[in-house]
Amino acid sequence: MERTKIGQLLLSGVPGPELDSASAAIYRRVQPGGFILFSRNIKTPAQLRKLIDDLRDLSSVEPVITIDQEGGRVSRLREIGSEPPNAQQFRDKRDIELIRRHGHITGRLLRLFGFNLDLCPVLDISFDDDADNSLRGRCYGRDVAEVIRNAEAFNEALRAENIASCGKHFPGYTCAKIDAHHELPDIGRTRGELDAHELAVFRHFADKIDSMMICHAYYPALEAGRTPASLSHAIITNLLREEFHFGGLVMTDDLDMGAILNHYGLEETIRLAITAGNDMAMICHRVPSVEDAWRTLDHLPSADLDRALENVHHFKAKLPPPDPFSVEEFKRRDAEVWQLRVDTLGEEKAKERSPENGKRSPVETY
């Protein structure tokens, strides 16, 4: 197996707003399958487009370029423009056309910078709007029907703009009592409870989204050993692939989160992630570790590597080129975000940005 091929199974973070020489050298050697950008990577519209163009230029295969652009505080592009409403605000407005507009606007804005995948919609059900588990404000509904109705409107519109979508956080994270950024949550839901609620949503979207993100939580009803969903063959291969017949790209949530780092070394994490059925392993913050992960991939069974590489290749075959960029066009598209915010929240409320901190996790991963 050529090492330049197996790098396609890694989704890497980028340290800063410019491509430094050390990181560029790692990326040229490893040839990651994609890059995920955060607020730390975004300073100006022109700078962001240049960074993405630079990442694309050093990639021998068209890379996945992704971001968490949901709404509210999980809106990376609010660093340079307007902040769209969050999912709960759209939910409470009860106007499906506003959600649809959000999907179209988000897709056009992302395409301008060269992104081709948005890490949303969130498909979790909000059983408690005040829960402190990193999902506050990010859920489209309080029951199966409400999540499906609202998330589907966003998802369809986003994909219509040629931006791939990602359902998260499989198999359903909102019953977590703690934040996986810090430690592994135990979710003691029975299989019957999961089937009636969380899994009902993901089952509905199995043929409607392009990719799926697997969360870091332990589900005793789904996994015999104390293994996070993101590293579980029973959950990814047996449940998502075989039972739900999901045919899209499967990726881990960030493997730099405490739920993983506190219990697994990098080599074991990468081995378990790919053999469990993930197609891409996400390393958001420890960029030098991407090269170590690449070396670990070289020792995995060929059947697992071939399966994941085929899925990555199939996913990438549908990725469109970016739109031509100009600052003027960014201003036009950003103005649409602002108008959507006003139409959803009202003029006065629209002027208030979501708090940067509050009970938010101290890291940038969602």
Q: Which residues are catalytic?
A: 181, 253
Distance between CA 361 and CA 181 in Å, rounded? Answer: 7
Q: Tokens standing for 275?
A: 């053999």
Residue in 130, 132, 199, 196 with CA at minimum distance from that of residue 167: 199
Structure tokens at 156: 């369809």
Residues 316/64, Cβ–Cβ less than 8 Å? yes
Q: Which phi-psi region, left, alpha or beta, contains residue 166 (left: φ > 0; alpha: ψ -120 to 50)?
A: beta
Q: What angle do CA 109, 319, 308 make, to 5 degrees?
A: 130
β-sheet bridge partners, residue 13 = 36
